[in-house]
């Protein structure tokens, strides 16, 4: 069938056939392993009518697996590399469920893209991400008015560990809080370099970000909350009373920082990496009222 053309086992053949020059700066590492694609579609819990946005479809290995599970659903695949989107069109373009868009995922007006289709009724985001766009892209979709119902993403293993980190360890920081503020992230599987062609220098991880329709946390001022987070981790080796008062993110002096910490019931000598999201929220609310 159609999807056999983009089977992961054919990656090398396709690279040769189209005389592809791999663009490393676009993070082009194509999946050649079937098991991880099966896990990805399983993790996305696809049903026939689903609408899916895929970022960076490349040679279509994941795209084909997604399309196989749909009947009446749609995939919007956004690829920056014109040559690749042309190849994908040649391989899968006859499938009416697939729309290929040649664009930079970081530059797109996503709210327009989503509302122009019927994706605002709900959609899933799937991607084997080029690693240089992981953080900004995840942020864009977490903060979007029309956030996806869930995301299944391949990211660098080390980034997956930071995203899912719990308070107390060295991996816990701005990225953990920025993601966990909006969703429950989980690692589905660690993926070794030889599952890709060419092989990346690092291990990867398949992750799922479980979104909920209600916000997970409430804050009075989201912008101020994230300034507090950046201050806490800007100098992460410092005790909170110092990191909070010595930061360009916040106009607090040491006395104000101490006062907020006391009011929030947090030991001023702790480091930021010890605080749960609930505690950071409490702290930022206290800081905000002291600074106002």
Which residues bind to ligand SAM, rule: CB under 6 A? 26-31, 55-59, 61-62, 78-81, 84, 104-106, 128, 130, 133
Neighbours of 209 (CB within 10 A): 23
Structure tokens given for 201: 């220098």
Q: Which is nearer to ligand SAM, 129 or 287 (CB)?
A: 129
CB 168 within 8 A of CB 156: no
Burial 139-169 (b: 16+ CB within 10 A, else e): eebbeeeebbbbbbbbbbbebbbbbbbebee
Q: Which is nearer to ligand SAM, 24 or 116 (CB)?
A: 24
The angle at the Cα of 291, spanning 287 to 292, to the nearest 5 degrees, equals: 120
The nearest distance, CB 145 to ligand SAM, in angstroms, is 21
Q: Which is nearer to ligand SAM, 107 or 214 (CB)?
A: 107
Query: Is the N-terminal amide bond of 210 cis, ω within 30° of 0?
Result: no
The angle at the Cα of 220, spanning 215 to 221, to the nearest 5 degrees, equals: 95
Q: Which is nearer to ligand SAM, 101 or 290 (CB)?
A: 101
The nearest distance, CB 127 to ligand SAM, in angstroms, is 7
Q: Which is nearer to ligand SAM, 130 or 185 (CB)?
A: 130
The nearest distance, CB 118 to ligand SAM, in angstroms, is 22
The nearest distance, CB 135 to ligand SAM, in angstroms, is 13
What is residue 39's DSSP assignment?
A: H
Distance CA 164, CA 160 (A): 6
The nearest distance, CB 167 to ligand SAM, in angstroms, is 31
Residue with the shortest CB distance to ligand SAM: 56
């Amino acid at each position: 069938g159609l999807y056999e053309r983009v089977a992961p086992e054919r990656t090398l053949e396709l690279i040769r056939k189209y005389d592809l020059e791999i663009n490393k700066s676009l993070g082009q590492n194509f999946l050649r392993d079937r098991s991880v694609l099966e896990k990805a579609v399983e993790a996305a819990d696809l049903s026939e009518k689903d609408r899916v946005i895929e970022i960076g479809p490349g040679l279509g290995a994941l795209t084909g697996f997604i399309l196989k599970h749909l009947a009446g659903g749609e995939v919007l695949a956004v690829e920056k590399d014109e040559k690749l989107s042309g190849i994908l069109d040649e391989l899968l373009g006859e499938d009416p469920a697939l729309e290929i868009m040649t664009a930079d995922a970081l530059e797109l007006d996503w709210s327009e893209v989503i509302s122009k289709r019927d994706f605002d009724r709900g959609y899933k985001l799937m991607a084997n991400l080029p690693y240089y766009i992981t953080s900004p892209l995840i942020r864009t979709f977490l903060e979007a008015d029309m956030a996806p119902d869930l995301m299944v993403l391949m990211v660098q293993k080390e980034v997956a560990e930071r995203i899912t980190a719990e308070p107390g360890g060295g991996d816990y920081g701005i990225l953990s809080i920025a993601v966990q503020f909006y969703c429950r992230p989980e690692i589905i599987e660690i993926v070794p370099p030889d599952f890709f062609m060419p092989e990346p220098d690092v291990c990867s991880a398949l992750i799922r970000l479980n979104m909920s329709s209600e916000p997970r946390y409430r804050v009075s001022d989201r912008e101020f909350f994230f300034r507090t987070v950046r201050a806490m981790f800007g100098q992460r080796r410092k005790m909170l009373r110092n990191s909070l008062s010595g930061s360009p993110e916040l106009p607090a002096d040491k006395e104000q920082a101490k006062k907020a910490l006391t009011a929030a019931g947090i030991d001023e000598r702790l480091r930021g990496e010890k605080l749960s999201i609930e505690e950071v929220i409490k702290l930022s609310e206290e800081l905000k009222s002291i600074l106002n």
